[in-house]
Chains A and B, each alone.
Chain A
Amino acid sequence: MKHTMKHIADFLAPPSGRRTVAAAGIGLLAGLALIACVSDEPLRAWLILLSGAMPELRQGADGGWHWQRLVRFGTVLEDTVNLTLLGLAVLIPFRARQFALGADGQLFLGALAGAVVGLAWPGPGWMALPLAAIAALLAGGLLGGATGVLKWRYGANEMVVSLMLNLIAIECYRLAITRWLRDPDAGFPATPFLPPAASFTPWIPDTGVGPMLLAAPLAVLAVALLLGRTTLGYEIRVSGAAPAFALQAGLPVGRATVLSMALGGALAGLAGFHIGHAVLGRLPVDLAPGLGFEGLLVALLARHQPRAILGAAFFYAWLRAGGQAMERGSDVSREIALVVQALVIVLVMAERWPWPRRWLFWRAA
């Protein structure tokens, strides 16, 4: 019982968390300095960057209170789910010391597999969503697993393989959308809308925020349990932390390598399912490219700790929405938001900072 409490406490407030929060704060302050260089009203622009993603409670003409800007906040939550799943997708292989960058391709194939099942499923409606999700998990997982098998059996560098498989997967996706799944009535190449049985009812109107919002914390919990509490997670961590030691101790390093990539791929596939079935409701020929790499950044921001992924993803999504709001509401372009993001990541990743620790952790000292 004592252990359980301790574990929960450690889980919620890891000692490394303070450092990350400090890095984020400094990065944001540096952003203010940067904005001051390019803007006539830097403080206002900066405040929009910070608060632009926040929904607003306003009194309407009828005297009642209404939430404003909920759609924008909805995008933040949608992005949080995507980035959480993608961050975990990068994190699991990384913990086995595999630098697999295949989340993009796995996301596309996952979305495609989910959409095919959603469009074609003839059976009872209640099974449509679970089946589509399983299809997405399998598609992403197989692609990730293939990368792992190529690495383990044939020594093919996982970074090269995953980047090349990204190209193949994305072009397969586009081919399938334009050639076989295209909705002739749509004005642009896209699939038909998914049937209601294969869609989620949004909790916030006009957004994709629905039951899939729960997938993010559940996935984090599942990955934290996997890595911390299962024998497979132990094998993955030891293989990553000291490969020679793992081999010597007789751990199944190959299996751990392949499974880490397959599990990561499955989560990226689930992100594709989320985009298709919860956010867009149909699949256009072009999904936002580079989402997989944002997952990599989120994983870096979380310093490869599963429990920190959710916060990192939310921060990232928040800043992105804030950047868009800043562009609309001030004379500063959203690239500044990207620079701030980059600064924060650099600060978080830095092993040592040029100023003494006690400045940052005066409370801890």
Chain B
Amino acid sequence: MNPSPLRLELRGVGKRYPNGVLANDGIDLQLARGEIHALIGENGAGKSTLIKMLYGLEQPSSGAIVLDGRAVAFDSPAQAIRAGIGLVPQHVQLVPSFSVARNVTLGAEPARWGWLNHGAAARAVGELARRFGLAADPDALAATLSLGQQQRVEILKALYRGADLLLLDEPGAVLSPDEAHALFTALRTLADAGMTILLITHKIADVLDVADRYTVLRAGRVVAHGASSEASAPGLAAHIVGRPLAPAQRPAPMPAGDVLLRVRGLRRATGVAECLDGIDLDVAAGEILGIAGVEGNGQGLLARALATGVGVALVPEDRLHDGVAPTLSIAENAIASTYDAAPLSRHGWLQPDAIDAATRAMIDEFGVVAAGPDQPIGALSGGNMQKIVLARALAGQPRVLVACQPTRGVDIGAARFLRQRLLALRAQGAAIVLVSADLDEILELSDRIAVMFRGAIVGHFRGEGQDARALAGYMTGARRQDGASARIDAPFAAAGQEAA
């Protein structure tokens, strides 16, 4: 019926925005039916623009989008959906108070004479879930689901609307290793059932683990493509950033310093999921304590609690919420922790020249790509914004730094830079708490690692030579170290210790 084996083909697709920015330039891409294709690149490489064009949110300024051998032009997502394209957004967008079935059928509910037929909806969703092996209870409330389950519901939503070409935008970013694994298994099932999947990611591991083929974008162009089985991590990384990266150098262990941050029996209760249940931890000078765990197990709460201490600086978790004031200028953001003293202000009067100079110094030192200190910080890319956030946190020369998800949504080059700055701070004798959902980052930087589950520390590990698989069981609560704590003298979890 379809003469072309290609479900989707892009021929020289380009996108130039009215302001002159060339976001995509001559993109060629081919997706065979039943293929999982990874689209990988740094932030700003043009992945989002490409997705927007495929989903009808933007229109290409050159080239052609070809579906099943026929050129198409989408003016709106509705047309893309009719053509069988489904988008699974990076941040799930479910109605928390609706059941899974109502979320899946939202906007396309089975109805009779204007009355919604919830029974039929639940049956249809249950059937869909069974057919594609995406376990989901149609009657469960969305609010009660884990992020991984919610993501499955998003996929069901796309499938329910008849999609057979799925666009997944950074699906693994918010998942625990186990959930990500489950998701990728599900994707493989879908592909075997004939679905075509375009997986947008900036994680090299995703390409190697799940994709059949890959395409690397850099600065709006395709710089490499091929079969995943023939790809290597260093090779991909070099394509992504445009130059070979030296392998990450584990920092030399520092001689044990004085304990700068000591916490005993810390408890907080804000809700069912987010709580702290008797946290004990120490961080010594010149040490990085990594806090690992699936998101939402109290890490954010812990970070905020720690950051209330005197002389403790914080890199907040949610950059756009409390990390920066997006509408204010870079300078106004940069001075937020130092504006109140000379030289930035005198007797309550701000000193514009000093502020300007300090901000320029920060921009230079951290290699921020910006028009100047007066540019609104919201116009910067995530990586550049985060550099300012870290620069501000370091401006007060803190002895203790709590860094939450310091490289989330930041491209590889900037992430490396930020990590190097953390290590430099450690070398200067600061105590650092690193909270990250990125297990690789925790393993790369930490001297010691504490795994959190449901508000408690459930495992304490040496950072050096640690293996992600050893932590995974603790992160999901399957395993637990008896009396685990992150005190400086606390024992490390023994390998193979069984659940208590």
Contacts and interface: CB of A to CB of B under 8 A. Distances in A.
Interface of A: 3, 228-234, 237-238, 241-242, 244-251
Contacts of B392: 249
B327 A229 contact: no
A249 B332 contact: no
Interface in B329-354: 332, 335-337, 339-340, 345, 348-350, 352-353
B322 A247 contact: yes
B286 interface: no
Given A230-B349, A234-B332, A245-B325, 10 more contacts: A229-B349, A229-B350, A232-B348, A234-B335, A237-B332, A241-B327, A242-B326, A244-B321, A245-B322, A246-B325
Nearest to B308: A250
B322 A244 contact: yes
B316 interface: yes
B363 interface: no
A245 B324 contact: yes
B174 to A, nearest CB: 20
Nearest to A232: B348
A250 B328 contact: no
B339 A234 contact: yes
Contacts of A229: 349-350, 352
Nearest to A228: B350
B314 A248 contact: yes
B77 interface: no
A294 B307 CA distance: 44
B12 interface: no
Interface centre among A228, A233, A237, A248 (most CB of B within 10 A): A248
A229 B324 CA distance: 20
A229 B354 CA distance: 12
Instruction: Give the 9 A-B CB pairs with smallest separation, nearest first.
Output: A242-B325, A249-B336, A244-B322, A248-B322, A241-B325, A245-B325, A245-B322, A231-B345, A231-B348
B210 to A, nearest CB: 36
Contacts of B296: none
Given A242-B327, A245-B322, A246-B325, A234 B350 contact: yes
Contact of B336 (A3, A228, A251): A251
B323 interface: yes
B348 A242 contact: no
A230 B350 CA distance: 5
Nearest to A225: B349
24 contacts: A3-B352, A3-B356, A229-B352, A230-B350, A231-B340, A231-B345, A231-B348, A231-B349, A234-B335, A234-B350, A238-B325, A241-B327, A241-B328, A242-B324, A242-B325, A242-B326, A242-B327, A245-B322, A245-B324, A245-B325, A246-B325, A247-B322, A248-B314, A248-B323
A227 to B, nearest CB: 11
Contacts of A247: 322
B328 A237 contact: yes
B328 A238 contact: yes
A242 B345 contact: no
A245 B321 contact: yes
Contacts of B321: 244-245
A250 B340 CA distance: 11
A242 B328 contact: yes
Nearest to B341: A231
Contact of B348 (A230, A237, A241, A245): A230
Contacts of A246: 325, 336
Contacts of B350: 228-231, 233-234
B352 A245 contact: no
A64 to B, nearest CB: 52
